[in-house]
Amino acid sequence: MQITRRPFKSKRMMQTFTYDPPDEPIVILYEDDDLIVISKPSGLLSVPGKDCAHSDCLEMRLKALRPRALLVHRLDMDTSGIMVFAANSAAQRHIGLQFERRHLEKTYEALVWGSPSATGVVDLPLIVDWPNRPLQKVCFQAGKVAETHWRVLEQKKTWARVELMPKTGRSHQLRVHMKEMGYPILGDRFYATSLALSAAPRLCLHARELRLRHPNGGDWVAFKDTPPF
């Protein structure tokens, strides 16, 4: 089923933000001579922010334990789940190209407000909303191609647990696509409003699975991290 844009009429609820990252220890899911796979907690930046108050991040915490760790990709601060770091420069280039050329598979799990159809596809181009950075918005004239597939795993009275499979990797893609369909992700301080915003104490979006080619030999490897919500 191909989905076109459904306007989301509610205005975004603005909130004062204070960076207060969790102090829980880093969880290493897998490690070898080329890869270090981490379970990133919600509320922790992937990389340092511009403000010195935002210097604490997953990259710096991991480097304190594994100085060889090299950044490959990022997750939004509010998103939890799998992040993969390279253990050497050759592996960094290899995995980086897989992300760039979309030669890997990413699966997320989320809780969304409402009752979406059992499966669907969102195909809405995205661009940064410059006056309201870091927000993103749909723009058919200048936006970059963005495609997300979804599948409902569980339906409750007011919310659903969904599996999200992005075919592209735009900033805030899953958050904006779900909001535009009328099913904002619970606890999303950027795009959810009213009951959907207050329904959870955090953004209920988790990078659950990552499947890629191992830098050494090219065999497929898969990693999974169960959502904490």
Reported as a single tens digit per residue, the pLDDT across 90-112 is 999 999 999 999 999 999 999 99
Task: Identify the segments of the chain with pLDDT beneath 50.
Answer: 1-14
Q: What is the pLDDT of residue 8?
A: 40
- Name the one residue in this structure whose structure tokens are 């995205």: 126
Q: What is the pLDDT of residue 52?
A: 87
Beta strand pairing status for 119-123 and 2-3?
A: parallel
Structure tokens given for 216 = 């050494």
Q: What is the torsional sign of CA 84, 32, 41, 16?
A: negative
Q: What is the CATH number of domain 27-103?
A: 3.30.2350.10
Each domain of the chain, given as residue ranges in start order, spans: 27-103, 107-206
The superfamily in CATH containing domain 107-206 is Pseudouridine synthase (3.30.2350.10)
How many whole angstroms separate alpha carbon 227 and alpha carbon 229? 6
> What pTM, to 2 d.p., does this model score?
0.91
33 as an active site residue: the answer is no
- Catalytic-role residue among 76, 78, 188, 225: 76
How many whole angstroms separate alpha carbon 122 and alpha carbon 61? 35
Q: What is the torsional sign of CA 140, 146, 149, 152?
A: negative
